[in-house]
Amino acid sequence: MSYRTILILLSILCAVLFAASLLIGPSGISPLHGLSALISGDGAAGLVMRELRLPRAILGIGVGAALGLSGAAMQGFLRNPLAEPGLIGTSAGAALGAVIAIQTGLYALFALALPLAALAGAGVAVALILILAGREGRALVLILAGIAVSALAAAATALVLNLAPSPYAAAEIVFWMMGSLADRSMTHVALALPFLIVGALILLRAGPGLDALSLGEDAAASMGISLKKLRLQIVFGTALMVGAATAVAGAIGFVGLVVPHLLRKSVGARPSRLLPASALGGAAMLTLADIATRVIAPERDLKLGVLTALVGAPFFLSMIRKMGREG
């Protein structure tokens, strides 16, 4: 199958799943009625379609694309199939920001307080990483700095949880951290979308540099690639996308790890080709998972992050097993 065919098929899959995400939900609106209500915006059905399902479907695509694309970029940059977008600490930082907003009650003041606090957390994490890893440092230093910052953010998050004023606040925090796309509004979409788009543009431009990096840092530099610029591209692009994604959806694991791996063989392993394919694949996978949470347990508000981890972790294990066998 040619590369172009794969991209077209993935795009069609995304479009179909986007439509399905719009048309499936607990309120039992028939597909035709739903579509006309979406266009006209009339009545209760119009409200449900425009205020609940449309933002949810858009965020499913956007957040999924963010995770898939940044996962592929991170794996390409670190030349490691086990790398994932959270590695540089942005998702842990964003989670901490959100948790602080919940703990302090800030999030009740206005709708965007929580995602804005999460974005600020991601920003602080990136600043820390760049200070810790220096501006020249090698990939290994970046990973270690990412692990350190993630650990610090996780500890701070645990501390906030530990000191939560009430079980209610603690439950709120725990549920937020599980990751979900339920009850998001167009305001969330408007907040996240600019970051997602700018981040995506930055990461997609890193393709040739990542290709060259397949031959090692020295060879890439000799082929005219500025490693310093590439590193900043990857760090900022990932931070923008993952920061915004975490801010509106919470922590969703495994998509960024699994999707590039699933697609790598079929696109011919070149990192530059994997980037757009992973963005589409991530969008499709997350939207599918989000639909699944509504179909499997419509009454129980099954969290999206729980589902992706439930499916992702066994897959991850089988991947490691396979790597072990190939030696």
Partner 1 sequence: MLELENLTVLRGECPVVDRVSAQVGPGEVIGLIGPNGAGKTSLLRGAMGLLAHRGDSSLSALDPMARARAAAWLPQAREIAWGLSVADLVALGRLPHGRDQATRGAAAVEEALRRMGLDNYRDRAATQLSGGEQARVLIARALAQESPLILADEPIAGLDPAAQIATMQVFTAHAQAGGAVVTSLHDLGLAARHCTRLWVMDRGRLVADGAPGEVLTETLLAQVFHIRAHFKNTPEGPVFQPLSTLGV
Q: Give me the residues that bind partner 1 (CB under 8 A), please.
A: 79, 208, 211-216, 218-219, 221-226, 264-265, 268-271
Which phi-psi region, left, alpha or beta, contains residue 277 (left: φ > 0; alpha: ψ -120 to 50)?
alpha
Query: In the complex, what is the shortest distance from the CB of residue 112 to partner 1, in angstroms, rounded to a whole number?
Result: 40
Question: How many Å from the N-terminal Cα to the C-terminal Cα in the chain?
Answer: 28
Query: In the complex, what is the shortest distance from the CB of residue 88 to partner 1, in angstroms, rounded to a whole number?
Result: 19
Query: In the complex, what is the shortest distance from the CB of residue 73 to partner 1, in angstroms, rounded to a whole number?
Result: 14
* Between 30 and 226, CB nearer to partner 1: 226
Residues in contact with 296: Cβ distance below 8 Å, sequence separation at least 6, in sequence order: 302, 307
Query: In the complex, what is the shortest distance from the CB of residue 164 to partner 1, in angstroms, rounded to a whole number?
Result: 44
* Between 66 and 230, CB nearer to partner 1: 230
* Between 131 and 269, CB nearer to partner 1: 269
Distance of alpha carbon 204 from alpha carbon 160, whole angstroms: 36
What is the number of alpha carbons within 13 Å of residue 237 lying toward its C-beta?
A: 26
* Between 114 and 210, CB nearer to partner 1: 210
* Between 163 and 269, CB nearer to partner 1: 269
And the tokens for 159? 């501390």
Q: Is 253 exposed, middle or buried (0-12, 13-18, 19+ CB in 10 A)?
A: buried
CA 75, chain centre distance (Å): 14
Q: How would you label 107-144 residue by residue, b for 16+ Cβ within 10 Å and e otherwise? A: beeeebbbbbbbbbbbbbbbebbbebbeeebebeebbe
Query: In the complex, what is the shortest distance from the CB of residue 325 to partner 1, in angstroms, rounded to a whole number?
Result: 15
* Between 30 and 80, CB nearer to partner 1: 80
Query: In the complex, what is the shortest distance from the CB of residue 28 to partner 1, in angstroms, rounded to a whole number?
Result: 47
Ordered DSSP codes for 74-110: HHHHHT-TT--GGGGSHHHHHHHHHHHHHHTTGGGTS
Closest CA to 239 of 107, 77, 127, 97: 127
* Between 20 and 319, CB nearer to partner 1: 319
Residue owning tokens 């639909």 = 291
Query: In the complex, what is the shortest distance from the CB of residue 292 to partner 1, in angstroms, rounded to a whole number?
Result: 31
* Between 218 and 299, CB nearer to partner 1: 218
Query: In the complex, what is the shortest distance from the CB of residue 64 to partner 1, in angstroms, rounded to a whole number?
Result: 23
Query: In the complex, what is the shortest distance from the CB of residue 284 to partner 1, in angstroms, rounded to a whole number?
Result: 22
Rg of the chain in Å (alpha carbons): 20
* Between 3 and 236, CB nearer to partner 1: 3
Task: Write out the H or E segment, with its range, that includes residue 153.
Answer: helix 139-162
